[in-house]
Amino acid sequence: MRSRARHLVGRDPQVAEIRQVLDDAREGRGGVVFLVGEAGIGKSRLAAEAVGIAFDSGMGVLRGRSSTTGPTVPFRPLTEALMSLFRSGRPMDDLPLGPYRPALGRLIPDWSSEAQDSSSMIILGEAVLRLLIATAPPEGQLLLLEDLHDADPETLAVVEYLVDNLEYTPVVLLATIRSEPCDALDMADSSRRRGTGAVLELAPLTRPEVGAVIAAQLGTGPDGVPAAALDRLWDDSAGSPFLVEELLQSMISGGALVQGDVGWRVVGDLRSDVSTALARGILRRIDRLGPQGLTLLSAAAVIGRRFPLTVLQRMTGVDDRALLSHLHAGVAAQLVVPDEPAPDWYAFRHSLTAEALLTQLTPARRAAMAGLAADAVQAQYPDLPGDWCPLAAELRSQSGDLDEAGRLFADAGLRALSAGAIGSAITLLGRAERMLAGTTDPARRAEVLEALLPALAEAGHFNEAFGFAENLHALGSLNAVRLAALHTRLAKVAHTAGRWEDGNRQIAQARALMRAEPDERSSAPIDVTAAYLALDTPGQDRTQLAEKLARNALQSAERHGLPTVVCQAWELLATLARERDFDEATALLESALSTAEKHRLPVQRMYALTRIGGNNWLTEGDTGPLLAARGEALRLGSATIVYTIDGILILDSVLRGRFAEAERNAGECLAVVQRLRLAPATRYVLMAQASLAAHRGDRPAMDRALSAFADWDGAGSQEEPLTLGLARAFCALMEENRAGAADQLRAVRRLEDANPSTYYLSGRYGVGLLLGVLSGEVGRGPYEEVAATAPGRMRWNRQFVLFAGAVLLGREGRREEAEAAVAEALRLAEPYPTALYLGLRLIAEPAHEDGWGDPVTWLRRAEHHFHQGGVATVANACRAALRRLGAPVHQRRSGSNAIPDELRALGITVREYEVFQLLPERLGNKDIADRLYISPRTVEKHVAALGAKTGHPSRAALCEYAASVLG
């Protein structure tokens, strides 16, 4: 006897919350709900209940499910959901989508065009959002996405955009996710923490609720459920509604539970292994469909949990009447269900049903049926559009035809890559490469590797990419051009990873191969990759060599129509052009961006956007374009660009004085880039950490960061000059050691002369110029030369250039011009408090001497800033300077919180601690007095007091003790 239809039991709180979210959406306040739980816990039933509530209230409902037929396919659930709009008969051409309509061509084939944006997930997310709003009835819209744990990275990127932007719309996003570690679950948890979505975790049913499910299935009341049956089902199901129903069906079909005149009673043995009982019960119900029904559903199971009727019919040869008859019987037996969001598709009610069917097939029979399924797919859809290609590839793999499977996986992977779906592309191309490893066609495998290697690099999987280097000799039967291309790909991976020695070796191998078969078209990619490596390889002529190689590559690429190489060359030339003219650099990047968009090169587009954002940051201090580029990189799956931009943003936080934010973000970012072995990003973040410590005047922390920097091949890198200018020189200035800062900046000049850098914030064009003017080493002529350079016009540098110019103008008696220069410097320095107040501190005394400006006010402002920031040495220097100017000085005695507890307990004062901090350097009393702007006699008194309080009357012992305390 068959039990009755399923019922929703024990989910009243969740239903109430969903109902409230739907009610809010009808008032224009959209929301997001994630249903999370283990397989069979009732997520789909609760989602169906939500659909029913939405329908009853007049809301629109769109439904899509992530792929369970073969490998993950980009955008599958979104495409499935949105396509239902076009089946409704509603006119779609007049929707108010504006410029976002072309982007939807990635999801809606009818709107596909050559002009569509093929890369930006932000634009695509906004396009989907606008479509949902435009098609929503007055009562609102529900978008249901099931099995989001199986979704591709690209779908999750769009969903994440929706999650963050649905609040003021009439749209509700409802998604089901298994409670297993996955990216979708991480996204749901993040949404819950941010307050942008609700996560409803479905717990197992309680014993009374299990009894209610059984009673509903048996068509009786709770008292009519045999106690023995309830005990067994409660123990075996662990509160899973699906297992309760399946095991109950097994009891009924196996004759252990029967219905008599007085109700249901147990007549057989209820004890059995759960999985065995499930499989046996399912197969018994399938057997009742007859041999043809078994064959039909077995064929469907080979296709996957979801299966299309067109393919199933062509595969089995069953006529329409028999096909529908068996399917209706399967639905009645609760084996399959119509896959409602997709017409002509059905799905097994649970994955265990498909698994049970597959267990009764021999390996040979299963392989043969997979081959028939693949034949049917390719006959029905010869061009294999959309997700038919990876489905056919999976079926060919199951049939044992690895060559054809590899070819199809390669096609699917290349399609995903061209659409900017890097995560999906890596999965598909990786499968293709493994299947083609034993192929007799190495050219096809080489084509896969040419696409896979850069995709792995973009995603940060460097070790996996370099693992292929050892296997290239197996492709020796390839011609020299193809093999050279693979070595070039590996060289590019090495550049991304910051391993220039490995990269140069790969370039040398590629050039050696090309000498045997010279070919300009194939040499262009080698030249442009060699140019990037040249720029990062230590050497006095590295910028000249990089420019020469890039121009050679550009000319060849333009002649032979190689848009990717053209973009790469322009991007590198733009980086080099920044030293001459930012307008020239931006124009080159705009050309690269235009080429990337014209030829649908999402990765190159992302690089161009990143470099344009970098230029905006350098020239204007604006991080907006960088943040937009980061969002693009994140949605494309480019870990290298995401963390490169994060490093810049961390340094920006340091320069802006947001030290706590910089410290937090640097720690989080560093842990990831070190794990990924992203050497350039790691060096940059460590440099930023050192700069953070320097701006705080924390020399020990700076030294620790610089020691770690050296461990990452920092010597000769482009980041090395920044460690001197932004870290060591600034730390010296925070210690009022101008001579030490000048020494570091001279070292910067020597480094950059030996290894030219394209990073221009090292001080050569900024604070170094100011110190040179103050010391008298730099006069009007050299100043004008630096001020006229493009690096000298960068916002961070320009503030110091203007301070230096003001000093020169003051010396020349041009008071009003000097004061105007300071006013402009203060405007530019407004985002950078440390630089602003350091500049005022440095120019105040020269301004007083030359009789211009407002040095007393400047010193007071600087003193207050550095006192508040805990940089006591500079604050003390400002107070001493005020005394020399004859201005009254407000005495401060705060700062005791900076004294270690061990010393505070001994009664050491703030002034004594300032002396104590200098003792490890074993300076004399006069040197300490000069540092702290106090008298040697005062220093002598503080040293004596420190010796008495610490129990170290000997100066040598006191110095050793200070060194041990301060680390």
Q: Between residues 252 and 940, which one has the greater pLDDT?
A: 940
Is residue 424 scored above 60 in pLDDT? Answer: yes
Q: Which residue is it, tokens 């905006």?
A: 616
Q: What is the pLDDT of residue 965?
A: 87
> CA–CA separation, 22 vs 53, rounded Å?
8
Report in angstroms the alpha-carbon separations of 618 from 712, 729, 800: 25, 20, 14
Determine the length of the chain: 967
- The sign of the CA dihedral 764, 770, 775, 780 is positive
Looking from the CA of 266 toward its CB, the CA atoms found within 13 Å total: 15
Average pLDDT over residues 933-938: 87
Average pLDDT over residues 635-661: 89
Q: Between residues 281 and 547, which one has the greater pLDDT?
A: 547
Q: What is the pLDDT of residue 503?
A: 86
Q: What is the pLDDT of residue 472?
A: 61
List all residues 6 or more positions away from 116 whose beta carbon is below 8 Å from its beta carbon: 102, 103, 104, 105, 106
pLDDT tens by residue, 821-865? 999 999 999 999 999 999 999 999 999 999 999 999 999 899 989
Residues 170 and 25: beta-carbon distance below 8 Å: yes
pLDDT tens by residue, 243-293? 777 778 777 776 778 887 778 887 776 665 445 556 666 666 777 777 888
Q: What is the pLDDT of residue 423?
A: 76
> CA–CA separation, 128 vs 155, rounded Å?
11
Percent of the chain's residues with pLDDT above 70: 89
Q: What is the pLDDT of residue 340?
A: 62
Average pLDDT over residues 754-766: 87
Helix, strand, coil in percent for the chain, rounding step 5: 70, 5, 25
Q: Between residues 230 and 845, which one has the greater pLDDT?
A: 845
Q: What is the pLDDT of residue 482?
A: 75
Q: What is the pLDDT of residue 635?
A: 67
> CA–CA separation, 314 vs 850, rounded Å?
95
Q: What is the dihedral of CA 422, 427, 430, 432, to 10 degrees?
A: -110
Is residue 687 scored above 50 in pLDDT? Answer: yes
Q: Do 12-201 and 896-966 share a fold? A: no
pLDDT tens by residue, 340-390? 656 678 888 776 677 778 878 888 999 999 999 999 999 988 988 877 888
Q: Which of 159-163, 486-490, 947-951 has the lowest mean pLDDT?
A: 486-490
Is residue 477 scored above 90 in pLDDT? Answer: no
Is residue 236 scored above 80 in pLDDT? Answer: no
Q: What is the pLDDT of residue 348?
A: 82
Element holding 489 (H helix, E strand):
helix 480-497
Q: Which residue is it, tokens 């003390």?
A: 876
Domain-wise residue ranges, the chain: 12-201, 207-272, 278-360, 765-892, 896-966
Could you give phi then psi for residue 263, rounded to 5 degrees? 110, -165
List all residues 6 or more positions away from 48 whose beta carbon is below 8 Å from its beta carbon: none
CA 54 to chain centre: 35
Average pLDDT over residues 539-550: 88
Q: Between residues 471 and 563, which one has the greater pLDDT?
A: 563
Secondary structure letter of residue 667 according to DSSP: H
Percent of the chain's residues with pLDDT above 90: 36
Secondary structure letter of residue 96 according to DSSP: S
Q: What is the pLDDT of residue 817?
A: 96
pLDDT tens by residue, 63-93? 888 865 555 567 888 888 888 787 666 666 6
Residues 915 and 903: beta-carbon distance below 8 Å: no
Q: Which of 8-12, 440-444, 695-699 has the lowest mean pLDDT?
A: 440-444
Residue 128 zone, left/alpha/beta (φ > 0; ψ -120 to 50; rest) = alpha
Q: Which CATH entry fits the domain spanning 896-966: 1.10.10.10, 1.10.3720.10, 2.40.50.100, 3.40.30.10?
A: 1.10.10.10
Q: What is the pLDDT of residue 3?
A: 36
Q: Between residues 351 and 14, which one has the greater pLDDT?
A: 14
Average pLDDT over residues 629-647: 82
Is residue 23 scored above 70 in pLDDT? Answer: yes
Q: Which of 244-248, 543-547, 796-800, 823-827 has the lowest mean pLDDT?
A: 244-248
Q: Between residues 419 and 926, which one has the greater pLDDT?
A: 926
Is residue 517 scored above 50 in pLDDT? Answer: yes
Is residue 685 scored above 90 in pLDDT? Answer: yes
What is the chain's mean pLDDT, rounded?
85
| Strands across the sheet containing 171-178 | 60-65, 141-146, 171-178, 31-37, 198-201
Q: Which of 279-283, 485-489, 507-511, 691-695 has the lowest mean pLDDT?
A: 279-283
Radius of gyration of the chain measured on its C-alpha atoms: 35
Q: What is the pLDDT of residue 115?
A: 39
Q: Between residues 71 and 874, which one has the greater pLDDT?
A: 874
- Exposure of 892 by Cβ count < 10 A (0-12 exposed, 13-18 middle, 19+ buried)? middle
Is residue 636 scored above 60 in pLDDT? Answer: yes
Secondary structure letter of residue 935 according to DSSP: -
> CA–CA separation, 905 vs 298, rounded Å?
80
Strand partners, 346: 307, 338
Q: What is the pLDDT of residue 118?
A: 44
CATH tag, 12-201? 3.40.50.300
Q: What is the dihedral of CA 779, 783, 785, 786, to 10 degrees?
A: 140
Q: Which of 117-126, 793-802, 829-838 has the lowest mean pLDDT?
A: 117-126
Q: Which CATH entry fits the domain spanning 278-360: 3.40.50, 1.10.260, 1.25.40, 1.10.10?
A: 1.10.10
Average pLDDT over residues 385-408: 88
423: three-class secondary structure by DSSP: helix
pLDDT tens by residue, 30-62? 999 999 988 778 888 898 889 999 999 999 899
Q: What is the pLDDT of residue 117?
A: 42
Average pLDDT over residues 507-511: 89
Q: What is the pLDDT of residue 1?
A: 35
Average pLDDT over residues 26-31: 90
